Structure 1
Amino acid sequence: MSELLAGLSDARLYSACVVVILYLTTSAYFLWPRRRPALVATGADRTAAPTLIAFASQTGFAAELANRTAQSLQAAGAPVMLASLQQVDDEILRQAKQALFVVSTTGEGDAPDPAAGFVRDVLDSSVPLKSLSYGVLALGDREYDNYCAFGHRIDQWLRHQGATALFDVIEVDNGDEGALRHWQHQLSVIGNSPDLPDWEAPRYDRWRLTARHQVNPGSAGDACFHIELQPQTNASATWQAGDIAEVDPRNSTWDEKLEPLPHREYSIASLPADGAIHLLVRQMRRPDGGPGLGSGWLTAGARVGDDVAVRVRTNPNFHAPQGDAPLILIGNGTGIAGLRALLKTRIGEERHRNWLIFGERNAAHDRFYGDEIERWRNEGKLERVDLVFSRDQAERRYVQHRVLECADDLKRWIDDGAAIYVCGSLQGMAPAVDAALSEVLGAGTLEELAISSRYRRDVY
């Protein structure tokens, strides 16, 4: 054992120790089921409130993913509290400010056996949780009728207690790698650490960067670029509105001399009929002023004509709704990319009762795809457009303010069967819009919309 440890680098030794600590902690939960979870605070900021990571596992896979989740947040410097659901009671939930649930479904939509006590003592009771923000990773198998049912039950119960969802439930079908990478992406956002390493390196296809231009010259914000990528031989050129392009920064997977880099996710703004993947990428800056890893590569590092490593990940929870029901689209910033693809789908299907509520900084510089949106409105393909520019008046105005102002019209659209799709910032916009919609429609109605898939979000 000593020879093995001597051969490890400091970084690998640290990681190995974290794994051992987490494994022993998790084992203790199973061996002493009535003990409270112990704080595992190996991150840099040990004074911050810990994130509760609660898992319910039938075969051990959910426990493994919960351990990886804890390691990722700790690598970002965040303290965590790791526990089996059998250790979680209403007091722990009331004290938590942020929680992540990693849960599997067994049998015909049932909770795993170790979570039976949690179901009896907690899920069948009422616990006020208005101060809790949460996310759910639901494991399941689509061959069963009640796919990911226990994960959705937890999500619905938490919403009913007043908790705020950080993002929609992420479903994992038989260990789907794409869904797990999406979960990792959300962890990087939660931990404010975009460079967290991938758990498993994805396999990319070769696409070619064929066009790039800045869409907001003179903007008070960071530069945004419209980017087009065309598939090369053997690349999958099939996707739907709502799907995600995963990009390998600097093509590290193709160069053995480069250390593999964490992938970056971007909402696809186009359809296959456009002949290329369209992205809207904001050129992010690191704290030291340098360009972001992924955005810097796409907006400046790669040259037009270069190959780019891309993988398309399906995102069925944000695919366009079926049927002729109205659609309300709400977003900000580069979130217009995902909304644009949805509008293209709706227009192509001759479904024109669409309402766009979109926010940015200044009308003079930040009207992303503004000419296209105006043309759709003039042609009657986009029934209503409400644009909100936060810096064009003395008092800052955002999309949530417009939502509140349009309360009566929103209620009428919802009464007509409308769905609401939200795309954009996880921090700031998404929770503010959620609160505004809850005030306008009522928390119970918004919960029912979420349960019936009429309220969907793709936030980052």
Structure 2
Amino acid sequence: MNSIPTSVASSRAHRYRRSVSAGSLGNGLLILGFAAIAAALARWQLDTWSAPVWRTSTLLGSGAVIAGYAGFVRLLRGSRPRQAVSSAAVATFAEAADEAQWLVVHASQFGQAESLAERSAVSLRQGGQTARLASIEDLDLPTLRAARNVLFVASTTGEGDAPDPAFNFVRQCMDPGDARLDHLRYGVLALGDSDYQHFCAFGHHIDRWLRGAGAQPLFDVVEVDDGDPGALRHWQYLLGRFCGAADQVDWEPPTYARWSLDQRRHLNDGSPGAPVFDLRMSPESPDHLRWQAGDVVEIGPQNPADHVRDWLAACGLDGDLPVTAGPRNAQRRLLLAELLASSRLPSKADVQGKDAQQVADELLPLPHRAYSIASTPAEGCLRLLVRQTRDERGALGLGSGWLTTYAEAPGAIHLRIRRNANFHAPNDACPLILIGNGTGLAGLRALLQERINTGRHNNWLLFGERSRAHDFHYREDIESWHRSGQIERLDIAFSRDTATRRYVQHLLAERAEALREWLNRGASVYVCGSLKGMAPAVDAALVSIAGEPLWQAILAEGRYRRDVY
């Protein structure tokens, strides 16, 4: 995790004060110089040409140079951070923030953060939430105290600096370090470029400040490297989870590769929980077996063939008619039924009286679904651990239904691997504590496999599921690694096997002394699994076990990583 080496506000204030004295003197000298040049040009023109039009244009042109430069200087001055808004305006803004369910704040240097914040607010509203958009230059502590949920979309400029509009907020709110925001829940989308040393530094600075103020993170910082569309889709997915609109069209549709779904195995027959499947996939070329433990796969789901046939029959359309689809610079010809397979199926009323091409022109693509990868390339295949989900009507979920039921096995599958650097294993040989539940074991298994392959065996797995008899996923691997010492410690809680429900957070409390000792030895903590329930409970348990000073040090050193969903 990146950090800002010095106070953003103090460094910017120093540069600002320095520029006032030196800049003012330089501007004055330059204007005098331009005036001298203008006078010389005018004299030369008067001596050389007799036509009055030239004398007039020369004087006007020279004056325009001076006026243009003066205007440029004024523009530069005007671009400096604005002073705080009036107290009346602050009160009004805080009241508005209190009324909205979400406050979406952008800290933008060149407009990208503002644009993404606008998209985020639209996504929340489409999910039935109220959202208010704000610039960080209009933000203050009363507004944050009035808000319930806040999203920050933050750019980083230069070598770890905050964008200019954040000047006052950093100086007045963040630098004092005494704010209390215990009621607040937040998320951070950090924009940056990994070519720079302090990648996404300001976004992480906001995250650390909010944690220190007692605010509760909804999820880990989402880093966007130079506009990475995969990271933006992940952010959009997280927004959808919180506003109940996970099926919104992707802002940036992924470009999928064709893989083969080679094997699908039901793991937990007889479990009190929903069915869980182990899936094995292979690419068309072995060269595509490239990812790191912690990375994520984005699946391009499809509508089942019988659903498409039923829809076509109900709407009176012929699926064998050819249509044109795609952007103007990449259009393709295909059958209407083929296009419908990867598109949202509109209502019958929406297509009434339209021909096949008109229907095709209005179709929206199905959103992707993301899953933690459960294997490393060394295993020779990409493995997923997927639990079936159903909606309130009992229909299978879009992604889980496609992968576990409707897609043929063996058969074609479309996917894209998304780099998830925040969940990559530590580069050093420090101890690693892995905590998870349910299908979150997928990401933890890949991390364990990678650590074991590199000879790092100081691993501790703490895991929770329902039943030992039915839900001990990857049991052979885990028990074998533990017996051989490649997993140093193993603790599992099966909630349905005891009279009182016992979850992974209870394991943490029971192992508090040993956990504290591992943390003091420099252990990193990786959590994978349920965003609701498990993740906040584990977070609270770890803070309690470590104590605030040690926990803040762990956060500052980037030793706490989560992949929760």
- TM-score after normalising by structure 1: 0.88
- For 1:394 and 1:78, locate their aligned partners in 2 and report how far apart those are by CA, in whole Å: 40
Alignment match, 2:473: 368
**359, 363, 383: which one aligns with 1:278:** 383
- For 2:461 and 2:241, locate their aligned partners in 1 and report how far apart those are by CA, in whole Å: 26
Which deviates the most, 268-277 or 122-131? 122-131
Change (3 A) 1:233 1:348: closer
Contact 2:95 2:146 in 1 (8 A): no
Whether 2:261 is the aligned partner of 1:178: answer: no
Contact 2:264 2:278 in 1 (8 A): yes
Matches within 5 A, 1:44-443: 50-125=101-176, 126-233=178-285, 236-250=288-302, 255-257=338-340, 258-259=342-343, 260-443=365-548
Which deviates the most, 202-211 or 161-170? 161-170
- For 1:453 and 1:233, locate their aligned partners in 2 and report how far apart those are by CA, in whole Å: 36
Contact 2:433 2:459 in 1 (8 A): yes
What SS is found at the alignment partner of 1:308?
Answer: strand
1:38-58 CA distance string (max 9 Å, x none): 8899xxxxx996111111111
Change (3 A) 1:273 1:457: same
- For 1:48 and 1:361, locate their aligned partners in 2 and report how far apart those are by CA, in whole Å: 40
Which deviates the most, 65-74 or 243-252? 243-252
- For 2:85 and 2:232, locate their aligned partners in 1 and report how far apart those are by CA, in whole Å: 28
1:99-138 CA distance string (max 9 Å, x none): 1110101122111111111111111232211221211111
Contact 2:83 2:168 in 1 (8 A): no
Alignment match, 1:44: none
The alpha carbon displacement at 1:97 in A equals 2.1
Unpaired runs of at least 5, structure 1: 1-29, 42-46
- For 1:63 and 1:263, locate their aligned partners in 2 and report how far apart those are by CA, in whole Å: 25
Change (3 A) 1:234 1:356: closer
- For 1:235 and 1:301, locate their aligned partners in 2 and report how far apart those are by CA, in whole Å: 28
Unpaired runs of at least 5, structure 2: 1-81, 305-325, 327-333, 344-364
Contact 2:94 2:144 in 1 (8 A): no
- For 1:359 and 1:132, locate their aligned partners in 2 and report how far apart those are by CA, in whole Å: 28
The one-letter amino acid of 1:371's match is E
The structure 1 segments of at least 4 consecutive aligned residues displaced by more than 6 Å after TM superposition are 38-41, 251-254
Contact 1:332 1:360 in 2 (8 A): yes
- For 1:148 and 1:407, locate their aligned partners in 2 and report how far apart those are by CA, in whole Å: 33
**444, 456, 460: which one aligns with 2:561:** 456
- For 1:452 and 1:192, locate their aligned partners in 2 and report how far apart those are by CA, in whole Å: 34
Contact 1:358 1:399 in 2 (8 A): yes
Which deviates the most, 197-206 or 226-235? 226-235
What SS is found at the alignment partner of 2:513?
Answer: helix
The one-letter amino acid of 2:468's match is A
Matched positions, count: 426
Q: Which has the higher helix share?
A: 2
The alpha carbon displacement at 1:192 in A equals 2.6
Change (3 A) 1:363 1:454: same
- For 2:503 and 2:515, locate their aligned partners in 1 and report how far apart those are by CA, in whole Å: 17
- For 2:287 and 2:255, locate their aligned partners in 1 and report how far apart those are by CA, in whole Å: 11
- For 2:150 and 2:285, locate their aligned partners in 1 and report how far apart those are by CA, in whole Å: 43
The alpha carbon displacement at 1:33 in A equals 5.3
- TM-score after normalising by structure 2: 0.72
Contact 2:84 2:138 in 1 (8 A): no
